[in-house]
Amino acid sequence: MAAQIIDGKAVSAKVKEEIRQEIERDKLEIGLAVVIVGDDPASRVYVNNKKKACEVCGIKSYEYALPAETTEAQLMELIDTLNDDDKVNGILVQLPLPKHLNEEAVIARISPLKDVDAFSASNVGKIMIGNYAFLPCTPAGCIELIHSTGIDVSGKECVVIGRSNIVGKPMAMLLLHENGTVTVCHSRTKNLAEVCRRADILVAAVGRPGFVTGDMVKPGAVVIDVGINRNADGKLCGDCVFDECAKKASWITPVPGGVGPMTIAMLMKNTVMAKRIQTAK
Ligand code: NAD
């Protein structure tokens, strides 16, 4: 059996087109501020892709590229200004920040109404209780990709590998909200391969190329590969050994072209939501 490919590019293009139409139809004026500190090349690529998506959707993007030696006080001052700026509906601080900046404190400074990444404690808490406006972009994108297969999560065994605050934990929570039976694996998990083999839906968010091998995949499983890594040849790859996993799975996301584009589409969705919430207040 060969898996069907879940085309993240196509699904994300559809989501962005729906957003573009919504913005045009309702004549919405929406702004997203993107803050980047330092010159991490991967962060630059992500920021450029986010700006491109804004253009496609009809959202105005405001880039703030700050030098690596920016102090926390300077960054906080910028966030305060953006919090008060009515043209700015969403604020995104590209992570990781240089080591001397406290990411948690910086994220906490963003108004929860403009926290379109849904990283702040109050938005994370809302996700826990299932009463949320913003979904964290990457897990929300994964859910959309699972939906695109037509497979219902309810009652399925779901295994998430990774427990980070931005991917693993919220991913587990969203699958739980969809009535999946969820197991979260991490670096201390025993018999990881055995646990993974139980999964009808397997989500890999580890950050290690070649981590998920074909023998860890249950025949017919849906495999969502969140990892973005470089292999020994410097090529972009996920956490899964694609060819091996694709032989076992019923559906699988490629890297690139899977979860990555969806994360950005979900960011656009959250930015529109931010505008709606702010206007309704
Ligand atoms: P992270 O480093 O914060 O978390 C990795 C998780 O993997 C940890 O919770 C850890 O417990 C787990 N882990 C590490 N070694 C393990 C092992 N041997 N066995 C089991 N679990 C182990 O990373 P993150 O921010 O969650 O990102 C994970 C991956 O997803 C990275 O490759 C990152 O680049 C990628 N990512 C992709 C997108 C996207 O849009 N596609 C977005 C965010 C992150």
pTM score of the predicted model: 0.96
pLDDT of residue 1: 65
Q: Are 62 and 79 in contact (CB under 8 A)?
A: no
The alpha carbon of 158 and the centre of ligand 1 are apart by a number of angstroms equal to 17
pLDDT, the chain, mean: 97
For ligand 1, say whether the CB of 183 is within 6 Å of any of its atoms. Answer: no
Share of the chain above pLDDT 70, in %: 99
What are the tens digits of pLDDT across the range 245-266? 999 999 999 999 999 999 999 9
Q: What is the crossing angle of helices 259-280 and 41-57, to 10°? A: 60
Q: How many CB atoms lie within 10 A of CB 73?
A: 7
Instruction: Look at residue 75 and tell me whether its pLDDT is greater than 80.
Output: yes
Give the ligand 1 atom nearest the CA of 168.
26
Higher pLDDT: 240 or 280? It is 240
Q: For 109-121, what is the mean pLDDT? A: 97
Closest residue to atom 35 of ligand 1, CA basis: 227
Contacts (Cβ under 8 Å, ≥6 apart) of 257: 7, 8, 9
Domains of the chain by start residue, with CATH: 27-112 (3.40.50.10860), 136-260 (3.40.50.720)
For ligand 1, say whether the CB of 49 is within 6 Å of any of its atoms. Answer: no
Q: Residue 18 corresponds to which tokens in the numbers above? A: 């729906």
Instruction: Look at residue 174 and tell me whether its pLDDT is greater than 80.
Output: yes
What are the tens digits of pLDDT across the range 22-59? 999 999 999 999 999 999 999 999 999 999 999 999 99
What are the tens digits of pLDDT across the range 178-193? 999 999 999 999 999 9
Helix ranges (H only) for the chain are 8-25, 41-57, 72-84, 103-109, 121-129, 137-148, 168-177, 192-197, 242-248, 259-280
| Known catalytic residue at 94 | yes
| Partners of 33 in beta bridges | 62, 91
pLDDT of residue 20: 98
